[in-house]
Amino acid sequence: MIKENLVRELEIERRTFEERGLVSYVSLATELIHLVQNDQDFLAHLSRAWEARSFHSIYERPLLLFATLRFLALSNTTHPLAKYIGEGACAKEPIPSSVVAQAFDESPATFERLRDWFVQTNEVARAFAWILPASVIHATFRPIVLVDSACSAGLNLVGDRIDQSWVLKRGRPWPYAELPPILARFGFDRSPVDVTNPERVRWLRACIWPGQPERLLRVDRALAQAQRLIGGGHFQVEVSDIAHVPQRLDAIADAYPEAFILAYQSSVRGYLPPEPRAKYGEQMKDWVRGSRAMWLELEDAPEAPEGAADVSRLDCHIMSNRGLEMLTLAHSDFHPTVIDVDDEACRELAHLAAQIHAR
């Protein structure tokens, strides 16, 4: 089953790379498909590496393969793939099949990383998921505490401290700049990236495709901000399975009784199996019901047609006098620069925040 499923997953990613003009990754995907279909030793190595792992997203295994190979290329300028997908590469040159085979032959640790490491992207532009609602309520709630429930390195927690290039649909300027004071920033992850560890930082950068210098620049700037904040005690990233996040949120709310809590996540649901995903969602809703807080989800938009640009949806869960409400505040793509904000939903959010403040 791994053979058929992985081929299908790689074919989906190959189409994505073709659309984005990433020639090196297109040829790499093609060669990986060939190896999976025709090289029994290669398939056996993969099967052993993943025998104790579960994957719940169609893009998790392919992205893990690409990130692992890019990590090795970033780690060694003489690596066979360094010219194509290493530091400074633009991914515009096809990779010969012999080079891909050589890369696996010369890097036996590849399969160990496939066994032990996780795909951990930090698209810092997704920080709009908390910056937008925080700006909407800034006149009502001062101060706030931020919590990223599946944070990787926690870089979205500092998305307000770097230059972002968001605009609204139809080219309107981004108006959500004024934020309430932020008392603390917390991040939780099953395998968080230590921003002071060069090897882990390299892995984080390897999860960004070559030929995307603007994303690397955002990550590098956010890394610098996170490293500065760590020493001050106002930026904490801790190990925690997402199932335990609701309990951690209770402790944070107790520690900051004067603050409004913004808990958020981005591109998380696809990595969770169905039952834990549903249980976590219900626990988070229960937490919102009993807290001065909102829960924000930037996740795949189920209503988006295939191939649509606006594929992520920002949902806000917050209490009203009627009970728990869900507002869809915005849509964006996976790497947000143009945000389609629902102005009416944002006005309703401001109204509900005023209700909570008046209690």
pLDDT in tens, 41-83: 999 999 999 999 988 888 899 999 999 999 999 999 999 999 9
SS3 state of residue 325: strand
Residue 319: closest CA among 275, 351, 342, 343 = 351
| Span 262-284, pLDDT tens digits | 999 999 988 888 899 999 999 99
87 and 133 both lie in a single domain: no
**Cα separation of 287 and 271, whole Å?**
22
Regarding whether 63 and 210 lie in a shared domain, the answer is no
How confident is the model at residue 308, as a pLDDT?
Answer: 56
76 and 141 in a single domain? The answer is: no
* Shared-domain flag, residues 330 and 197: yes
Residues of the chain with pLDDT under 50: none
Mark whether 92 and 217 lie in a shared domain. Answer: no
Query: What is the residue range of 333's domain?
Result: 124-358
- Quote the pLDDT of residue 359: 74
Residues 99 and 154 in one domain: no
Domain boundary among 116, 148, 167: 116
Peptide bond into 143 cis (omega under 30): yes
- The pLDDT, as a whole number, for residue 44 is 92
Same domain, 88 and 21: yes
- Whole-model pTM: value is 0.89
Residue type (1 letter), 351: H
Measured distance CA(332)–CA(132) in Å, rounded? 13
Whether 130 and 141 have beta carbons less than 8 Å apart is answered as no
Residues 259 and 350 in one domain: yes
Residue where a domain stops, chosen among 94, 116, 138: 116
Q: What is the CATH number of the domain that holds 278?
A: 3.40.50
What's the Cα-to-Cα distance from 255 to each of 249, 251, 261, 314, rounded to whole Å? Answer: 10, 6, 11, 28
> What CA–CA distance (Å, rounded) separates 127 from 123?
8
- State whether 108 and 133 are in the same domain: no
Specify the pLDDT at position 68.
95
Q: Are residues 150 and 266 in the same domain?
A: yes
pLDDT tens digits along 224-268? 999 999 877 779 999 999 999 999 999 999 999 999 999 999 999
The residue from 98, 116, 134 where one domain ends is 116
**Total domains in the fold of the chain:** 2
Reduced to 3 states (helix: H, G, I; strand: E, B; else coil), residue 336 is coil
pLDDT of the residue at 273: 86
Average pLDDT in the chain: 92
Shared domain check, 145 and 40: no
pLDDT value, residue 120:
81
Q: What is the predicted pLDDT for the residue at 305?
A: 59
* Same domain membership, residue 77 and residue 11: yes
Distance from the first to the final alpha carbon of the chain: 56
How many whole angstroms separate alpha carbon 122 and alpha carbon 165?
A: 16
